[in-house]
Amino acid sequence: MVLHSSRYVARKKDTWSEVPSLNVRSILRRANGLRSGALVFATAMIGAILTDYLFGWQAELLADYGAPRTNPMTLLALICAVVTTWKQRPMARVRGAERGLWLVVMALAMAHPFSEALSAAIWPTHPMGRFGWNSALTLFLIGLAHLLRYLDRSYGLIAAMIALFVPLVALNGYISGVTDFFGAMSLTTLAVQLPLALANLLCFARHPMLKGMLRDSVAGGLMRRQLQLSIALFLLIPLTLRPELSQMRRMFPLINTMEITFMLGMGLYFGARLTRLLDTERQIKTNLLTDLTLDPLTGAATRKRAVNSFLRLDVHQPAGVILCDIDHFKRVNDMLGHNAGDDALKAVVKALRSELRVTDVLARWGGEEFLIIAKIPDAKALETLTERLRTVVHRVDVPGLEEGHITCSYGAIMLDTPTGWDLRDCVAMADDALYQAKSQGRDRVVIAEYVPAAVLVDQPEERLARA
């Protein structure tokens, strides 16, 4: 009796192994939070630039800095960059439409020499700053960083880091009182480009150079504090010494920039080394866990994992327990050798798994015995599933065997609820049903008569020991 149901169609990959670890999830969550905050700030500053065009507040508030206004071409490029950054998926490769927008941003950046003449033609009575080469370089590098991710994400990361470095240098010049240091850049442009560059740098959060800093660990916390200290020094030292910088207007910003660059560079370098060590440690732990929970020959789960999976069953979810034993397996070893027997075991596991869902458990219970724990609604579904398992094993060919294929006998029990049951009780009852299947001629399914869990409390220990 076979009833086809998509409930029992297996997936080709065990998605359990592809679920990101908690550490990776924390990295992505922290990166996405920082990225969203940076984009919100950049969007707000674009709104401030637009209000400056209408009301001219920058000329009054920032007169002491002598800062130019944001050029219209710069604003257009910034709007395109911010919109594209909002549009693209975090940590994902750039899609076709986004790639086109980044190319537009890069084209606008390359056209920056014509910005002053263009703004003078549009607004002859309102002086605008030019599209500075450092602003253009930042936007060009941000677009280039995303396009380079197709070739090598490390190249893209380097471009994104340089894109963040350029406005940081301009910020250092403003704080030090040298507004034309490393090229003139409007403060409002700077206020958009810094968070924009940071948001795009965080798209590379999976890279080892950034992953260590974003980890939810002691090492990650130390690296973040080091970065915060570097930024504090970067901002506070020029602000504190600004009155005394008149004698070294050019040298101090340069020295300070080199200093902070060295500190950040060393932090990222050692962070990358630490990340590789932590990833290696995690991989070793994963391999050890796999060795403990998977049978090394067949890839099926071990007894320990089967017991743990049974304990984690939902108390309100019906489940079936199936015990499967290969018929005349000793004859396979005697006739064809143990290597052929091992291959037969692996082939049977592969066949059984093809009819199970990823949420079902397939464990090697003994030498040629396998235990299956499946979430199914009722005894009818249990019988249907077990018959499907029996049928699919028939397709396993064993060259050299007289029958040409392997058969299995099955004993199964249906649990209305796992509450009150011990896996040993279930296996003992399934084993009784399996013995009946063997007695009736093998290659058949026997469903055990349901016994309430409360009755099993009075059963003798000898019965439970058979599991």
Locate the DSSP E strands across 194-256. Answer: none
- The span from the CA of 356 to the CA of 365, in Å, is 17
For residue 415, list its beta bridge partners: 319
Q: Quick check: 335 pLDDT over 80?
A: yes
pLDDT, tens only, 92-119: 777 778 888 899 999 988 888 877 777 6
Highest mean pLDDT among 32-36, 248-252, 348-352: 348-352
Closest CA to 348 of 392, 285, 413: 392
Closest CA to 182 of 171, 170, 193: 170
Closest CA to 335 of 235, 406, 388: 406
Tell me where in the chain the CATH 3.30.70.270 domain(s) lie.
303-465
pTM for the predicted model, two decimal places: 0.52
Closest CA to 105 of 80, 74, 132, 131: 80
Residue 82: what pLDDT? 92
Give the least confident one: 188-192, 245-249, 294-298, 329-333: 245-249
% of the chain exceeding 70 in pLDDT: 71
The answer to whether the CB of 417 falls within 8 A of the CB of 409 is: no
Q: Domain 303-465 carries which CATH code?
A: 3.30.70.270
The answer to whether the CB of 134 falls within 8 A of the CB of 183 is: yes
Q: What are phi and psi of 75, to 5 degrees?
A: -60, -45
Do the bridges between strand 445-447 and strand 408-415 make them parallel or antiparallel, or are there none, so unpaired? parallel
Residue 328: what pLDDT? 87
Looking at residue 368, the DSSP 8-state letter turns out to be S
pLDDT, tens only, 207-246: 777 776 776 766 667 777 777 777 777 677 666 666 565 5
Q: Quick check: 18 pLDDT over 60?
A: no
The answer to whether the CB of 385 falls within 8 A of the CB of 3 is: no
DSSP 5-32: -GGGPPPSS-GGGGSPPHHHHHHHHHHH
Interval 118-141 mean pLDDT: 76
Distances (CA, A) of 348 to 153, 296, 398: 42, 15, 10
| 61 Rama class: left (phi>0) / alpha (psi -120 to 50) / beta | alpha
Give the least confident one: 2-6, 360-364, 444-448: 2-6
Residue 3: what pLDDT? 33
The answer to whether the CB of 142 falls within 8 A of the CB of 196 is: yes
- Average pLDDT score, the chain: 77
